[in-house]
């Protein structure tokens, strides 16, 4: 009985993987939402702290708590930050690397780029942008598109593993000739 359940679960897993065009050897890197969580919590703590101080002490020169424009401004920031967090969570952004292609996945669409379709790739550092303490970026040119693709390593989970995978791909694809758009 347990074996039948296990085989049924394995079949469903393989079916799901086939439907999503993801092989078992692929590596999935989720987009980090740490910044959005921190931002939302910081604004919420600021709101609680401000409302606590304003509600506890009486300030004669300031308007009442119900008519305080600063309180409404902080509430607006809290609502917007939670809305942005929820929207980014719903987008479900992922970078999927298989043996023969790179897939940029989100809830609404997927970009599949075959490794033979990559004109060149450059692995370097960005001078001005540092994401999650990491300044490494991968820039590559797709043959059928004018714009460049840029992957900032610090925006995805498991940065070291992602960097190793991109270096493995870079060995099979021609290298970029010169630094491009602030990447050296």
Overall domain count for the chain: 2
Contact between 91 and 78 under an 8 Å Cβ cutoff? The reply is: no
- The β-bridge partners of 114 are 101
The edge-to-edge listing of strands for the beta sheet with 94-97 is 27-30, 94-97, 101-105, 110-114
For the whole model, what pTM was predicted?
0.66
The answer to whether position 179 is within a domain reads no
The answer to whether position 15 is within a domain reads no
Q: Kindly state the DSSP code that residue 181 receives in the 8-state scheme.
A: T
The answer to whether position 10 is within a domain reads no
- pLDDT tens-digit readout, 136-161: 788 888 888 788 888 888 888 888 88
Is 71 found in the same domain as 52? yes
- pLDDT tens-digit readout, 43-93: 999 999 988 888 777 777 766 666 788 889 999 999 999 999 999 999 989
- pLDDT tens-digit readout, 17-43: 444 555 557 888 999 888 899 999 999
The answer to whether position 110 is within a domain reads yes
Domain of 140, in residue numbers: 25-31+95-172
The answer to whether position 128 is within a domain reads yes
Is 129 found in the same domain as 116? yes
Q: Which residue in 175, 168, 90 sits closest to 141, CA to CA?
A: 175
Distance CA 135, CA 127 (A): 7
Q: Which residue in 100, 118, 128, 132 sits closest to 27, CA to CA?
A: 100
* CA distances to 34, 123, 171 from 42, in Å: 12, 34, 43
Distance CA 170, CA 67 (A): 59
């Amino acid at each position: 009985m347990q074996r039948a359940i296990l085989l049924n679960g394995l079949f469903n897993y393989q079916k799901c993987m086939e439907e999503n065009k993801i092989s078992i050897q692929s590596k999935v890197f989720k987009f980090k939402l740490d910044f959005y969580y921190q931002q939302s919590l910081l604004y919420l703590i600021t709101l609680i702290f401000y409302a606590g101080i304003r509600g506890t002490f009486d300030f004669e020169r300031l308007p009442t708590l119900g008519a305080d424009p600063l309180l409404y401004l902080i509430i607006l920031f809290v609502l917007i930050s939670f809305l942005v967090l929820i929207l980014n969570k719903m987008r479900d952004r992922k970078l999927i690397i298989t043996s023969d292609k790179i897939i940029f996945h989100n809830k609404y669409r997927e970009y599949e780029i075959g490794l033979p379709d990559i004109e060149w790739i450059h692995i370097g550092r960005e001078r001005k942008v540092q994401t999650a303490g990491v300044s490494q970026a991968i820039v590559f040119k797709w043959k059928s598109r004018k714009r460049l693709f840029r992957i900032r390593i610090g925006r995805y989970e498991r940065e070291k593993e992602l960097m190793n995978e991109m270096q493995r791909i870079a060995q099979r694809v021609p290298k970029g000739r010169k630094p491009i758009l602030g990447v050296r």
